[in-house]
Amino acid sequence: MKSNRIILILIFFAVGYFLYYKDKPGPISKLWETISQVFKTKDSSSNKDNPYKAPEPDTEATATKDDTEATATNKKKTEESTKEDEGSLFDKIKDKVLGPDEQDEVTGDYDIPSFALPAIGKSDEIIKHKNYTLRYEEKYEVPAWVVHKLRGEYTKGRANRGDNQFIPDKKVEGNSALSTDYSNSGYDRGHMVPAGDFKCCQDLMNETFYMSNICPQVPDFNRGIWENIESRIRGWAVRDEELYIVTGPVLTKGMTTIGRYNEVAVPKSFFKIVLYYNPNNPKRARAIAFLLPNEGLFGKKMNSYVVSINEVEKITGLDFFTKLPDDIENRLEAESDWDAWTRIQ
């Protein structure tokens, strides 16, 4: 009996100590704060917006409605915006104790260096997004070229295409093409900068869905050899750490057009150029170019479409890598060496 009393006293003392110190500074306070935050719950009746869905049109109350209804609506929006994101209990504990997952914390300078850009004319419309730069052709409602930087670390992570919607690019001076221009056309909305290159970061992946980054592509082409080339380049980026990719259509007179609201040109072929260049070790620079017809290429190997950059310049009228030292530019643009990219470096 005496021992039981001692145990009860110790338990009572421990509980009292914990309750007294839970709001005081120190380890116990920290523990209490963590446990409290982990088990916070949201109102089960609230609907969480899909984070991958493009913004919907503004449906806010109009000025004709009374002030009481408008105030209530604004209050509800404020409360919803301040609520925590939901997640599993494990994720909450992990984030509190261990910090956020490292793969979602990719940081760096996303600016595209001048040496990776094609020559730019005074009248060219240049659009800059976070990790890609493009020249938009209003006449054809497609980009002439798009340049992005691809690091190996960008290809890994949790970002998801989800319900991402193709959206107009408001940075385009004369308005870009619309997603509905492609509806029922028989052509895919083909990414020039692939969404799959940015699994690291949802914001970077979301930007690839601007219509200024899109061209009409034959479905079997877009989902076949084009996708295979994109996947191969991601593997090279993991190996080489950092690459620069220039992608675009071959724009010619007399192209077929699609579009309900805009006349969007359908290119007959596409190019993709990959550059490895480290200014600290320019002698190791190398490049490779692909030139492919916009059609289903069943059974064809991607190395069948490797060409020199000089050939791409001739057919497009573009001038690539003008900011590189002349000797390096000339050497790279004359190359078409598939083996230099596929053999282990």
Residue 191 designated active-site:
yes
Contacts of 89 (CB under 8 A, 6+ apart): 38
Of 59, 80, 103, the residue at which a domain comes to its end is: 103
Reported as a pLDDT band with limits 50, 70 and 90, residue 108 is low
- The pTM for the full model equals 0.70
**Are 130 and 268 in a shared domain?**
yes
238 is a domain residue: yes
Q: What is the pLDDT of residue 43?
A: 38
Q: What is the mean pLDDT of residues 191-216?
A: 97
pLDDT of residue 162: 83
Q: Are residues 99 and 139 in the same domain?
A: no
Q: Which residue, 132, 153, 158, 131, is CA-closest to 238? A: 153
- In this structure, what CATH number is given to the domain that contains residue 322? 3.40.570.10
Lowest model confidence (mean pLDDT) among 8-12, 78-82, 194-198, 200-204:
78-82
**In a shared domain, residues 176 and 38:** no
What's the structural domain count of the chain? 2
Alpha carbon distance 174, 139 (integer Å): 10
108 domain-assigned: no
Residue 196 has pLDDT above 70, yes or no: yes
- 103, 136, 166: which is the final residue of a domain? 103
pLDDT exceeds 80 at position 91: no
Residue 158 DSSP label: S
Find, among 271, 268, 242, 243, the residue nearest to 256 by Cα.
268
**Same domain (yes/no): 173, 76:** no
Whether residue 166 sits in one domain with residue 63? no
The answer to whether residue 109 is domain-embedded is no
Q: Give the gyration radius of the chain's Cα atoms.
A: 27
Is the same domain home to 52 and 198?
Answer: no
**According to the model, what pLDDT value does residue 171 have?**
97
Domain shared by 126 and 98, yes or no: no
> What percentage of the chain has pLDDT greater than the value 90?
64
Pair 91, 119 in one domain: no
Same domain membership, residue 137 and residue 54: no
Write down which residue in 103, 122, 147 finishes a domain: 103
**Which of 151, 191, 199, 234 does the annotation list as catalytic?**
191
184: in domain: yes
* Lowest mean pLDDT segment, chosen from 7-21, 92-106, 125-139, 220-234: 92-106
Name which of 28-42, 87-101, 132-146, 180-194 the model is least confident about.
87-101
Reported as a single tens digit per residue, the pLDDT across 259-283 is: 999 999 999 999 999 999 999 999 9
Q: Which domain holds residue 20?
A: 2-103
- The reported pLDDT for the residue numbered 221 is 98
Same domain, 76 and 52: yes
Q: Are residues 70 and 165 in the same domain?
A: no
For residues 99 and 119, state if they share a domain: no
Assess if residue 95 is contained within a domain.
yes
